[in-house]
Structures are given as structure tokens and as C-alpha cells.
Amino acid sequence: MTILSEHGVFWWHTEAIPDRWFAPEASVTGHLEISDQGRISLELDGDLPSKTGILRRWVAGENAVQEQTCIQGILKSNSKHVLLMGVFSNGGHMSTSGPSYETYIANSCLHGPSRIPTSDKLPQFSRLRIPLTGFEEWLHFGAIKYDRTETEISAHYSDPADIQYTLDDGLLTLSYDIRGPYRGTRWLHKLDLKESAFLTYKPHASLDLDAVYRHLMETQDFLILLSESDYQLDWPLLSIDPDEPFYTLYFGRRETAVQPPRSHECWMHFPELKEIFGELFSTWRNKRHAFGPAFYLYLGTRRGASLYVEHRFVNLIWGLEAFHRQRFLVDEDSGLARKVDRILAAATNNNDKRWLRYKLKNAGEPSLESRLFDNFKLLPLPWNWLNLKKFTKECADIRNDISHYGGPRSGGDYGIFMRELDKRSDALSCVYHMLLLKEIGINEDVLKNRMLDGRRSYLIKAQLKHFGLLDESPNGEVT
């Protein structure tokens, strides 16, 4: 599927444009295409001027040095402007008896209503706007009011007020809009109204392209945690100057088949988090940076990605182990550390000392089983402690078997092993998710309510009860 397929005029981004010209003299016509996965390709009807020339570039082949990395253009059908960034040659055709042409691929592309200032550097951005298309039911929209009688139907909409949150490095604003007919009065046979919303990030200092991608990833992962949905965010919008319009940013990304979250599937809705949304987002970003893989590895099993059962399981175990290391940092001045130092100091032979140091380097290191058990205990649930101990030991043993034997060392039916491992991963993923929510500031009582009595509690309890991890009352209900 193609997002954009347009003819236009293109030139190097460093070429100055004379007054009252729409393009520099050294420009070439061509065709730009952007796929729905953000693959950006440009086929020119000639070649752009360069110091090496097309013949030398073709002779050099893969060894050719790319002199410039940005191509700007104006499109034929609507006079919109584009800036292709991270450009590299993708072949073309050289002929002595007919027209020669070049093709290029770009890592990213800005597409907007006005020309981007000529420069030999990538632009910096003052604002990043993220459409929340697809998250309407998580946002719990409901500002369109309609009234119907036997003879009349009327609809009324008022924009909810923008909500602004102060972050460590800027402002985050949630703004609302509605999609419908243009302003004015018209007679229509069909009327379609749809609410929309945007998150706009305005940093204190300008963002480069890497910072834009980082903020997008942080926002996408944050929404996964809060909405329980891996639905992919829409293409972001960028503004170079605060008073200038927005450009759409296209870039290569993986296609997913995840559908927008439905209201009953969401772990929580935005209105329940509205007052603390900015605080949660700030904590999320800080903890994501501080905890590193303890946060990344869980999210690596999400984002609409399809993983082998074993891969998903070990990713969850690695992540939970990393979470424990960050959550329960060992005090270097502990009595155990001093005891190890005394033992090493007592060794007089250097070879013995080296051997002892190697053997004692992990002294006092908690076992994987203990790390998993400690993590589970952080959640305010009525655990069945014996079954929990059994479950965490089995998880540690299975991880070791997969790491060292590629599967269960005792053999057996691998299909049964895989199905049970998938269920085990579901339980681990559920706990891991809740641990991250607790770590970024979701109240314990809210967590307990959502896990035992909330919209998705039936699924959570089923995943945990499969291994007998929750204590149950005599009537079979979790207490």
C-alpha cells in the first residue's frame, strides 16, 4: 500500500533558491513514493549535479562517497514540499544514447505546506505533535452530544479544554479537535463527525531527529503500559519554528496487524489518569533511562512483534532479573562484601588469591529463583506462597535448560512443553507489566483492584490461577 506517490521537482538541500523561484536551476524532475511502512524511494528523470559526476559515481559503485544526504522537493499536484533525509544512492541507469537517471532511498522524509530553509545540516525541531488516532476509546471520547426526535436530529460539539503538563525538559499538551465538514452552513445528505486528539511536546531546547525518534518510542511504550494495547501510533508531526506549520514525518518502520484498542480491552482509560498523566510520563522516562533493559526487555515482547515461544519466555526472565538488580541494588559496604575482602586478604599465595576472587565474585548473589520470587512479592496480591515458590523455581530451571540445552533436558513431548511455556510466559508478562506500572507510580490499591476486580481481571486471574498462584476462598473466588 502506498501513502504517497507524486511527481515533482527535486534538488540538493544545499542549493540556494533565487527570489520568486520555486526551485533552483540545478533541479531535476522525478517521482517520489512512500509506502505504508515508510519506505521512501525517489526516481529522478536525470541526475543531480555533483563534484564527482554520474559517470564517476557509477564507476565507483558501492565505494562512491555520498557528498550530500538531503534532497528537497516540491510536488506537482499540490505544491507541497518534502525533505528527504539520510539519502543514499540506489542505482539508476546510465546511457550514452539516451537519458540517464538516478534513484535514491531515504531514511526519513518531511512532508508539509512550505519550503524548508536551505541548509547543509539537518533541521532542528521546536515541537513534536503525535496524533492519537486509534486511541479514541482509550481516551474515552464523548464530547459529541446528539438529540433525536421523531422529526429532527441535532448534534452539538464543544472542544474540551487543552490539558497541559509540565515536564523536566518542556511542556506536554493534550489537545482536542473534531473532524467534520468545513466551516459554514451547508445542506448535506450525509454527516460524519469524529473526535481526535494530539499530544504535543514542546521542549525547552530544540530536538534533533534522534531525539524525535527517542520521544516517539517513549510515548509508544508508555501507551502500551497504560492502555494494554500494542497499536502503532500514527505518523508524527514536526514544527521547525514555533510559528511555522507542521510537517508530517515518514520513516521506515515495521508493519503490524494490531487493531486499535477497544474500551473493554483497556487496562485503564485516560480520564482515570488525567490528573497524574504528566507525572507518570516524567517518571516513566526517568525510570526507563535508569532501569535500562529492566524496562526494554518487557516492551521488546510487545509492540506487535511475533516471537518464538522460547524467545518470549527468556526475554521476560532476563527482564525480570534485570528489574530485580535495579530494584534491589546490593550495598557495596554490606557485611558480606567486607567478609569477602577479609577472606581474600588472608590468602597469601597470589594464584590462590586469583582463584578465590573468581570463585567469590558472585558470593551472596541471589539466585534467579529468589529474584523472581522477590519481584512477585512486590505486588499486593493474595499469593499462594508455596505454589509461588514452586513456580519461580520451575521458571529458573526452564530458563537454564533453554540456555544450556536448547529445551527441556529431560526430553519429552516438545509440543506440550511449548504450550505450557506459553502459558507460563503469559503469567510472567502479566506480573512484569504490573511491576512496571507500580514502579512508575500507579497506586497499589488501584493495581490490586484492576488485577482482581477490573475489566481485564478475568484474564489476569485465569493466567495466575493456572499455576495456582492465588489463594482462593472456599467458593472458588479469589479473596
6-49: per-residue pLDDT in tens?
999 999 999 988 888 899 998 999 999 999 999 999 999 988 88
Please give the pLDDT value at position 331.
Answer: 45
Domain match, 232 and 281 both? yes
Same domain flag for 205 and 245: yes
User: Do 143 and 30 sit in the same domain of this protein?
Assistant: no
Same domain, residue pair 350 and 410: no
Number of domains in the chain: 4
103 lies in a domain?
A: yes
Residue 385 lies in a domain: yes
479 domain-assigned? no
379 and 452 belong to one structural domain: yes
Query: Among 78, 112, 146, where does a domain finish?
Result: 112
CB atoms within 10 A of CB 389: 16
pLDDT on residue 164? 97
The amino acid that residue 249 corresponds to is L
pLDDT computed for residue 69 by the predictor: 85
Same-domain pairing of 414 and 339: no
pLDDT of residue 363: 55
38 and 85 in a common domain: yes
Within a domain: 254: yes
Out of 62, 89, 112, pick the residue that ends a domain.
112
**Mean pLDDT per 10-residue section of the chain, whose length is 479 residues:** 94 90 92 96 89 51 58 95 93 68 93 90 95 94 88 88 95 92 82 92 95 96 93 95 91 88 90 95 94 92 84 95 86 57 75 67 75 95 96 95 84 86 95 95 91 87 94 56
Q: Are residues 201 and 105 in the same domain?
A: no
Whether residue 33 sits in one domain with residue 154: no
Give the mean pLDDT of the chain.
87
CA distance 115 to 80: 8
Helix axes 444-452, 414-440, angle to 10 degrees: 150
Residue 145 sits in the same domain as residue 279: yes
Residues 6+ apart with CB under 8 A from 231: 134, 135, 256, 258, 259, 260, 261, 304
The candidate with the shortest Cα–Cα distance to 297, out of 412, 435, 402, is: 435
Residue 324 counted as domain residue: yes
* 60 in a structural domain: yes
Note whether residue 307 is domain-resident. no
In a domain, 298, yes or no: no
State residue 364's pLDDT score.
59
Closest of 392, 386, 387 to residue 373, by C-alpha? 392
54 and 104 in a single domain? The answer is: yes
pLDDT of 100? 76
Both 260 and 153 in one domain: the answer is: yes
Considering the entire predicted model, what is its pTM?
A: 0.85
- 251's torsion region: left (phi>0), alpha (psi -120 to 50) or beta? beta
Domain that holds residue 350: 331-365
